[in-house]
């Protein structure tokens, strides 16, 4: 009988000791007793058995591949213990099957595992025990790390600008905060404060850092990825805080902060802007210019574009026409002016209280009428489902009476079960449509009762969707006369009619929620 040996240690400390040699000796002694000729020995040094999905067990994978390539030749896969093989039950039996398919049997030197019922039971218990032990150790580690974070101590390698006190190398537990890293700390601090002013990009910050000596201090050029981590990922640490990634709780750290709380909030605000040399204006959804893509030049009909040139006082924000043949070309409109006039326009078209109350009452009455239809659909679907269940019961009785053959029963059963699934989907959809429309309409009326405020407070994605609903064909703008008369969305058209007192609001056909086809 031929076999292979697989040995593993999970830390560098074990590699330096006698663990590997001990495992080889024990496995060879076992093989000799069993009459197994060892063909190969696969050594895994300092790798974890926690999770095969991370592909960090190179020697183990080589051992499996060796058994597959020599299918029928390698009959024994020898390990010292089951927990050397895998530390969760699912992985254990998944790989056990791979070995069996290759004609290879797993052997444990120190544990009685095998193919008899009692041996399989013991193997399952051992694999489960290994997984349990691994889970307990993991939980203790996480609890310990969370405890350190609550104490204000960072449990990982500190970000650039700080240095660890190397407690682990001294064989001690971490009891002190990470210390500022001399001149590197001062350079990063200077760079963050400059970046917080909002006048430079990350690319420019990288150049300044190396100009001030960061490249010299660290021995290599500063990469864009490092700058990104500095101004985005590690900001809370630099501000003197640390966040527990498991509980989400934020704790004040014991380390010396690099930036003030005010600087921290300014840097957070800047994260929504472009983080490279590419100007933010070219973003499709730029929070600085929400009206881009909506407003047309009144003179030539071209959509206004935008820019944010830098001057002595910082950046200046403008909308302007990009058509070189237009008389308004290169004549800018201040962002503040255009957006203030847009908010005034929203105030003008905001539905009146009278319209909103009538609108709410009409939609709710109409929906209650439609809701009866959904109720009926749900009842009919339930009756059909009960009928199909009864049919399924009948064909089972026919099989018992030998009226149906097993083949006929199987075919008919699959037909009915497929139909039952379709009916259940139909019934669920009908129930979903029976929503609480009163709450939905109440929220909608509150939202549109102050459109200018809602638009101003929303994120760019919501702003652009919202303004397209109100002004579906966009707007035209003339510097001296302002916005032209816009075409409004349906609800806002009806509001204008109601405002003029020309008609009473009736059932709003066309705005009610669409029924299923």
**What mean pLDDT do residues 424-434 have?**
60
Given pLDDT bands bounded at 50, 70 and 90, which one contains residue 503? Answer: very low
Query: Which regions of the chain carry the CATH code 3.90.1750.20?
Result: 163-270
Q: What pLDDT is stored for residue 432 in this prediction?
A: 52
**What mean pLDDT do residues 332-355 have?**
88
CATH class of 163-270: alpha beta
Query: Which regions of the chain carry the CATH code 3.40.50.1390?
Result: 2-139
Neighbours of 6 (CB within 10 A): 25
Task: Please work out, in degrees rounded to the nearest 5, the angle formed at the alpha carbon of residue 49 by the alpha carbons of 147 and 31.
Answer: 140
Do 358 and 435 meet the contact criterion of CB atoms below 8 Å apart?
no
Summarize pLDDT for 249-278 with one digit per residue, the tens.
778 888 899 999 888 888 887 775 544 434
Q: What pLDDT is stored for residue 422 in this prediction?
A: 66
For all residues of the chain together, what is the average pLDDT? 77
Q: What pLDDT is stored for residue 54 in this prediction?
A: 44
DSSP class of residue 303? B
Q: How far apart are CA 21 and CA 411, in angstroms?
A: 62
Q: What pLDDT is stored for residue 448 in this prediction?
A: 73
Q: What pLDDT is stored for residue 252 in this prediction?
A: 85
Length of the chain: 517
Q: What pLDDT is stored for residue 436 in this prediction?
A: 54
DSSP class of residue 52? G
Q: What pLDDT is stored for residue 476 in this prediction?
A: 93
Tokens at residue 301, please?
Answer: 């009909």
Burial 182-207 (b: 16+ CB within 10 A, else e): eebbbbbbebbebbbeeeebbeebbe
**What mean pLDDT do residues 223-251 have?**
83
pLDDT at 15 over 50: no
Q: What is the CATH number of domain 2-139?
A: 3.40.50.1390
How far apart, in Å, are the Cα atoms of 365 and each of 17, 266, 441? 80, 49, 11
Share of the chain above pLDDT 70, in %: 72
């Amino acid at each position: 009988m031929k076999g292979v040996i697989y040995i593993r240690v999970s830390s560098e400390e074990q590699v330096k000791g006698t663990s590997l040699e001990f495992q080889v000796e024990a496995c060879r002694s076992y093989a000799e007793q069993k009459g197994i000729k060892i063909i190969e020995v696969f050594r895994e040094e300092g790798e974890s058995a926690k999770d095969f999905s991370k592909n960090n067990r190179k020697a183990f994978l080589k051992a499996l591949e060796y058994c597959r390539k020599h299918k029928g030749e390698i009959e024994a896969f020898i390990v010292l213990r089951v927990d050397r093989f895998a530390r969760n039950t699912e992985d254990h039996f998944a790989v056990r099957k791979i070995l069996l398919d290759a004609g290879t049997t797993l052997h444990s030197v120190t544990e009685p595992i095998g193919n008899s019922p009692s041996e399989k039971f013991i193997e399952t218990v051992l694999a489960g025990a290994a997984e349990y032990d691994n889970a307990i150790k993991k939980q203790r580690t996480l609890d310990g790390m969370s405890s350190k974070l609550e104490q204000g101590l960072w449990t990982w390698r500190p970000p650039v600008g700080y240095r660890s006190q190397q407690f682990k190398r001294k064989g001690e537990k971490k009891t002190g905060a990470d210390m500022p890293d001399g001149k590197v700390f001062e350079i990063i601090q200077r760079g963050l404060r400059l970046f917080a002013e909002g006048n430079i990009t990350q690319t420019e910050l990288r150049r300044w850092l190396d100009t001030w000596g960061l490249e010299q201090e660290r021995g290599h050029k500063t990469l864009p990825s490092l700058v990104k981590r500095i101004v985005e990922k590690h900001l809370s640490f630099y501000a003197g805080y640390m966040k527990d990634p498991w509980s989400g709780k934020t704790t004040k750290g014991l380390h010396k902060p690099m930036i003030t709380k005010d600087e921290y909030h300014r840097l957070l605000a800047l994260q929504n802007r472009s983080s490279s040399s590419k100007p933010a204006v070219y973003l499709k959804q730029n929070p600085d210019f929400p009206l881009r893509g909506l407003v047309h030049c009144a003179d030539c009909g071209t959509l206004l574009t935008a820019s944010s040139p830098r001057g002595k006082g910082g950046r200046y924000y403008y909308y302007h026409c990009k058509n070189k043949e237009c008389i308004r070309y290169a004549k800018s409109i201040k962002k503040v002016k255009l957006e203030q006039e847009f908010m005034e326009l929203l105030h003008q078209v905001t539905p009146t209280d009278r319209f909103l109350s009538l609108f709410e009452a009409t939609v709710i009455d109409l929906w209650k009428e439609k809701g009866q239809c959904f109720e009926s659909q749900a009842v009919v679907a339930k009756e059909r489902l009960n009928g199909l269940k009864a049919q399924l019961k009948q064909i089972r009785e026919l099989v018992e009476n030998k009226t149906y053959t097993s083949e006929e029963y199987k075919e008919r059963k699959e037909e009915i079960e497929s139909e039952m699934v379709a009916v259940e989907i139909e019934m669920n959809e009908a129930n979903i449509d029976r929503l609480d429309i009163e709450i939905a309409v109440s929220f909608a009326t509150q939202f549109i009762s102050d459109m200018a405020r809602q638009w101003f407070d929303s994120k760019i994605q919501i702003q652009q969707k919202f303004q397209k609903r109100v002004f579906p064909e966009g707007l035209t703008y003339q510097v001296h006369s302002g916005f032209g008369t816009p075409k409004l969305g349906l609800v806002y058209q009806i509001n204008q009619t109601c405002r003029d007192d020309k008609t009473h609001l009736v059932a709003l056909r066309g705005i009610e929620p669409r029924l299923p086809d």
